[in-house]
Amino acid sequence: MERTKIIETKEKAGKKVSISGWVTTVRDHGQIAFIMLKDRSAYVQCVLNGGLKEPVGEGYVLEIVGEVKERPEKMRNDKIPTGNVEIEVESYKVLNMSKDLPMPLNTDGKNINEEVRLKYRYLDLRRDRMQKILKLRSDYIAAVREELKKREFIEIETPMLTKATKEGARDFIVPSRFNPGKFYALPQSPQQYKQLMMTAGIERYFQFARCIRDEDLRADRGYEHTQIDLEMSFMNQKEVMQTVEDIIKGAVSAVGGRIKEDPFPVINYKEAMEKYGADKFDLRTEEEKKNNVLAFAWVVNFPFFKKVDAGDEAEKRDGKSGWVFTHNPFSSPIPEHLEWHMKGENIGEIVTAQYDLVCNGLEAGGGSIRAHNPEVLKQTFRIMGYSEEEIQESVGHMLEAFELGTPPHGGIGMGLDRQIMLLAGEDSLKETIAFPMTATGKTAVMDAPSPIGKKDLETLHLDVTDKGGSMVDRIKETLDSLGMVYKYMEHEEVRTSEEAAKIRGVDLSTGAKAMVIKSKEYEGKYIMVVIPADRQLDLEKVKNQLEEEFEIAPAKEVEQYTGLKLGSIPPFARLLKMDLYFDKAMYDKETVAFNCGLRTASIIMKGSDLIKAANPDKKSEKLEFAQ
């Protein structure tokens, strides 16, 4: 007998059907039993007169044959689409049994530990909420693709094994077995390939591209993401922005999303900074936030370059001269500033033809009109301190293409995961991805990253000399690279701030106490707050200052997240992939002391140097967390 989807049973009263799915609840009253069965389409109640013939439990997979019966008016269930009917079971077959489920599936899952949810992600995805999000994602991709096809865009896949690029983050690298000592890089984006498509005469390219970046993890960012990637030839900035806007409006409308303003507001970068204090802002009213309205806006006229942040390794690597690009080195300056650019004058005032799409306080996409003239691209790298040889090594293939008839072009990359997060009204990207990583960069379900065997290392011509590196060495390397003076001391094991101060021979108030706290609103989110060691953390002040409720993270979770023992945590949260805040009192310390990853090692240094090296959130100087 052909299988019937459960949702179709509501129109089949009086007919015999075969349905299959998962048991969500069982009520066995002896002579009569009730099973709630779920498939991808809906739930339906199944009635077994005479009771269960063989054991059935939650999570079991069943095939049920029976007659669809209209339910009496007073017994209808308005909470489910099939609430007007039930299945009078003639027979059932257990297709597979289930052990006791490791977590309940009848809630939204947000109150369940992230580690458990991701370990059993294949179960977590059975939740109604998760299935709705995955369907929304699929429908939105289809809608975007349809909008692009209408406009004659061509979908093209680009390589996953490629060369390291200058895109503002660290690369994940892959060793080459056939080329010992050489490595591929996984793509941070298809940036260079899509520009080369313009040289190839494609004119309108798109791809739902997998992008992989070794950057700090947080609720709205992960190691890998899917990008709606576009590039267009023979179009100016206004035309590119209008095309993108029309695509987004069409796709959002197709999945039932609501947009605040049409057309999208266009705001100058300087105006945004003056008015909102950031280039990512939320234009919604409180009522619109409750109704999940999407407030898109464009931000334009960004500075092309900025001074290198000494605490950002990627910026230090890319900006050899002390200047680094703000968004994309392949962008073009606006025409009015082309002369400054080519002469290397007024570098901090050069404006780029960059446009960011923001929505509800987050960046939804970023793009630019590109430098298709090879001399303009060369000059960008010269400004950043690259020699002619280094320029050829880095982008020589692009320069050669630009000498072979590359047309004017521009494009954009838009984060699909983030757009789904906004459409679904979620707070974390992880809720929009089938198998996301944990907050510490571990894969869902499978145990990665994990060691590989000696033979595999030999095959790849690799040798692991420092398995993970030590926190002590990483901190010392950071301080040395910044030319800072500090005292490193090894001592007996200490577990408290008082013990540490005594053995260091300094006052307790000198200590920098690094506290790892856990969000009560977003699962898997940890941050670090650093306060003077002679004071206590006030969680109420944290809540008021950061507008989010936190609790002290349990010792076991801290050790799992950081790989470090309590009492050894250093105030270098950036090295531990966490956001970092300092109590304002730390800014007045002439000297500070702290454990540096071991309970048996400490560093004593100038307070101002610690702030520079640790790089806490810029607003920390005004925040008070201690009592």
**What pLDDT, in 10s, does the model give residues 292-347?**
999 999 999 999 999 988 767 678 788 889 999 999 899 999 999 999 999 999 99
Q: Which of 378, 411, 432 is the last residue of a domain?
A: 432
**Residue 618 pLDDT level (bands cut at 50, 70, 90):** confident
CATH number for position 151: 3.30.930.10
pLDDT at residue number 315: 81
* Same domain membership, residue 308 and residue 206: yes
The token pair at 436 is 């996301």
pLDDT at residue number 381: 95
pLDDT at residue number 491: 82
pLDDT digits (tens, 9 = 90+) for 148-161: 999 999 999 999 99
* Same domain membership, residue 606 and residue 562: yes
How large is the average pLDDT for residues 246-260?
98
* Same domain membership, residue 381 and residue 280: yes
**Residue 449 pLDDT level (bands cut at 50, 70, 90):** confident
**Residue 220 pLDDT level (bands cut at 50, 70, 90):** low
User: Is residue 614 pLDDT above 70, yes or no?
Assistant: yes
**Residue 217 pLDDT level (bands cut at 50, 70, 90):** low
Q: Which domain holds residue 76?
A: 6-96
* Same domain membership, residue 275 and residue 142: yes
CA 577, CA 250: separation in Å to the nearest integer? 37
Return the beta strands (E) in 128-253 as ranges.
154-155, 173-175, 183-185, 204-212, 224-233
User: Is residue 212 pLDDT above 70, yes or no?
Assistant: yes
pLDDT digits (tens, 9 = 90+) for 85-96: 999 999 999 999
Average pLDDT, the chain: 93
Q: From residue 347, give the alpha-carbon distance in Å to each of 185, 271, 280, 316, 493.
A: 30, 20, 24, 17, 51
User: Is residue 440 pLDDT above 70, yes or no?
Assistant: no
Question: Does residue 105 fall inside a structural domain?
Answer: no
H runs (alpha helix) in 384-470: 388-402, 416-424, 454-459
CATH number for position 611: 3.90.960.10
CA 588, CA 607: separation in Å to the nearest integer? 8
* Same domain membership, residue 344 and residue 259: yes
Neighbours of 501 (CB within 10 A): 20
Question: Does residue 438 fall inside a structural domain?
Answer: no
* Same domain membership, residue 480 and residue 413: no
pLDDT at residue number 168: 64
* Same domain membership, residue 135 and residue 78: no
* Same domain membership, residue 79 and residue 157: no
CATH number for position 58: 2.40.50.140
Neighbours of 504 (CB within 10 A): 21
CA 89, CA 83: separation in Å to the nearest integer? 16
State how beta strands 43-49 and 85-96 pair. Answer: parallel
Q: Which of 72, 96, 120 is the last residue of a domain?
A: 96
Question: Does residue 464 fall inside a structural domain?
Answer: no
User: Is residue 452 pLDDT above 90, yes or no?
Assistant: no
Question: Does residue 437 fall inside a structural domain?
Answer: no
Question: Does residue 343 fall inside a structural domain?
Answer: yes
pLDDT at residue number 193: 96
The token pair at 164 is 């390291």
The DSSP H or E segment spanning 22 is strand 16-28
pLDDT at residue number 549: 92
Residues above pLDDT 70, as percent of the chain: 97
* Same domain membership, residue 137 and residue 270: yes
Neighbours of 68 (CB within 10 A): 23
Q: Going by C-beta distance under 8 Å and a sequence separation of 6 or more, which residues neighbour residue 329? A: 166, 318, 377, 380, 381, 384
**Residue 515 pLDDT level (bands cut at 50, 70, 90):** very high
* Same domain membership, residue 317 and residue 183: yes
As for how many domains the chain has, the answer is 3
* Same domain membership, residue 410 and residue 289: yes
pLDDT at residue number 101: 95
List the single range of 18-32, 125-139, 278-292, 429-443 with lowest mean pLDDT. Answer: 429-443
Instruction: Please tell me whether the peptide bond between 570 and the residue prior to it is cis, using omega within 30 degrees of 0.
Output: no
H runs (alpha helix) in 517-565: 539-546, 555-562
Q: Going by C-beta distance under 8 Å and a sequence separation of 6 or more, which residues neighbour residue 533? A: 497, 500, 501, 508, 509, 510, 511, 512, 513
How large is the average pLDDT for residues 117-121?
94
Q: Which of 432, 462, 479 is the last residue of a domain?
A: 432
How large is the average pLDDT for residues 171-200?
94
Closest listed residue to residue 9, CA positions, set 49, 38, 50, 34: 38
First to last CA, the chain: 71
Closest listed residue to residue 98, CA positions, set 22, 198, 37: 22
Q: In what order do the strands lie in the sheet with 486-490?
A: 486-490, 601-606, 591-595
pLDDT at residue number 561: 85
pLDDT digits (tens, 9 = 90+) for 567-599: 899 999 989 888 999 999 999 999 999 999 988
pLDDT at residue number 137: 98
How large is the average pLDDT for residues 606-611?
95
**Residue 215 pLDDT level (bands cut at 50, 70, 90):** confident
The token pair at 587 is 């800014």
* Same domain membership, residue 355 and residue 241: yes
**Residue 490 pLDDT level (bands cut at 50, 70, 90):** confident
User: Is residue 59 pLDDT above 70, yes or no?
Assistant: yes
Buried b (16+ CB within 10 A) or exposed e, 547-564: eeebeebeeebbbebbeb
How many residues comprise the chain?
627
pLDDT at residue number 166: 67
User: Is residue 13 pLDDT above 60, yes or no?
Assistant: yes
Is pLDDT larger for residue 38 or for residue 477?
38
Question: Does residue 329 fall inside a structural domain?
Answer: yes
List the single range of 428-432, 488-492, 603-607 with lowest mean pLDDT. Answer: 488-492
Question: Does residue 235 fall inside a structural domain?
Answer: yes
User: Is residue 37 pLDDT above 80, yes or no?
Assistant: yes
pLDDT digits (tens, 9 = 90+) for 365-422: 999 999 999 999 999 999 999 999 999 998 999 999 999 999 999 999 999 999 999 9
User: Is residue 227 pLDDT above 70, yes or no?
Assistant: yes
Question: Does residue 291 fall inside a structural domain?
Answer: yes
Q: What share of the chain is helix, strand, coil (3-state, %, to 5)?
A: 35, 25, 40
